Amino acid sequence: QSVLTQPPSVSGAPGQRVTISCTGSSSNIGAGFDVHWYQQLPGTAPKLLIYGNSNRPSGVPDRFSGSKSGTSASLAISGLQAEDEADYYCQSYDSSLSGYVFGTGTKVTVL
Amino acid sequence: QVQLQESGPGLVKPSETLSLTCTVSGGSISSYYWSWIRQPPGKGLEWIGYIYYSGSTNYNPSLKSRVTISVDTSKNQFSLKLNSVTAADTAVYYCAKKTQALDPWGQGTLVTVSS
């Protein structure tokens, strides 16, 4: 089972700002391990959206931003667009499991 | 840029071994880590394990007893073997390059476990 907890779904109107939380523990996010975020459009493979807590790969719009504090991390999408409808996953490393862990995933719906 | 492509049987019988290969193109497999991830239909992502080009590995503890990941640098490929499969192993299997994060990913291949 996932050790990183995300809300199952979030929604917003076009142009609005939404945030997705990723809650971990002292063995993963709280231990200082980086958090990465992936976007999975319907029927496609996940794509890296944010790496190292807050860095955007080239080509990712600056509407997407990431942050981390304590045992949690967040992904914010500002100026929500219809093309942002997708599933979003956080990912980190867990020292207790000695391996990588994914969040439970969040479905973003644009109203 | 680096591209990854998974290949292997789409149907495996229960109790048999699932075998997949990931072919890396557009760059060398050397000097990086390479990972396998899976996603059961309608569910979330699960990390399976990763391998360094030199052959050192790290596996998900929940799968460790059944998983082997290997690398063939001469073919620029790495492979996944999962033995004693059950219906719970039915999933889309992805390979990915691991630097600081997992990027890029292959398109994924659906493996169904059924008799």
Do residue B49 and residue A99 have CB atoms under 8 angstroms apart?
Answer: yes
User: Hey, what's the torsion of the CAs at A55, B3, B64, B40, to 10 degrees?
Assistant: 90
Query: Is the CB of A101 inside 8 Å of chain B's CB atoms?
Result: yes
Give how far A12 is from chain B: nearest CA, Å. Answer: 22
Residues of chain B in contact with residue A48, where contact means CB-CB under 8 angstroms, are 101-104
- The pLDDT assigned to B36 comes to 98
Give pLDDT tens digits for B52-91.
999 999 999 999 999 999 999 999 999 999 999 999 999 9
Do residue A52 and residue B100 have CB atoms under 8 angstroms apart?
Answer: yes
Do residue A89 and residue B44 have CB atoms under 8 angstroms apart?
Answer: yes
Nearest of B31, B24, B18, B30 to residue B6 by alpha carbon: B24
Q: Which of B102, B107, B109 to probe by mutation at the A interface, max A CB count within 10 Å?
A: B102
Residues of chain A in contact with residue B100, where contact means CB-CB under 8 angstroms, are 34, 36, 51-52
- The pLDDT assigned to A1 comes to 59
Average pLDDT over chain B, rounded to an integer: 96
CA dist A70 and B25 (Å) reads: 39
- The pLDDT assigned to A3 comes to 85
Going A93 to A94 to A100 to A104, the CA torsion angle's sign is negative
What residue spans of chain A are helical by DSSP H?
none
Do residue A89 and residue B103 have CB atoms under 8 angstroms apart?
Answer: no
Give pLDDT tens digits for B26-54.
999 998 999 999 999 999 999 999 999 99
Q: At residue A2, does pLDDT exceed 80? A: no
The amino acid at residue A27 is S
Residues of chain B in contact with residue A98, where contact means CB-CB under 8 angstroms, are 58, 61
What is the chain B residue with the closest CA to A99?
A: B60
Query: Is the CB of B107 inside 8 Å of chain A's CB atoms?
Result: yes
Longest dimension (CA), chain B: 40
CA dist B35 and B57 (Å) reads: 10
Residues of chain A in contact with residue B44, where contact means CB-CB under 8 angstroms, are 2, 89, 102-105
- The pLDDT assigned to B51 comes to 96
Band the pLDDT of B4: cuts 50, 70, 90: very high
Do residue A51 and residue B59 have CB atoms under 8 angstroms apart?
Answer: no
Give pLDDT tens digits for A27-50.
999 999 999 999 999 999 999 999
Average pLDDT value for residue range A86-96? 96
- The pLDDT assigned to B31 comes to 84
Q: Quick count: other Cβ atoms within 10 Å of Cβ B85? A: 18
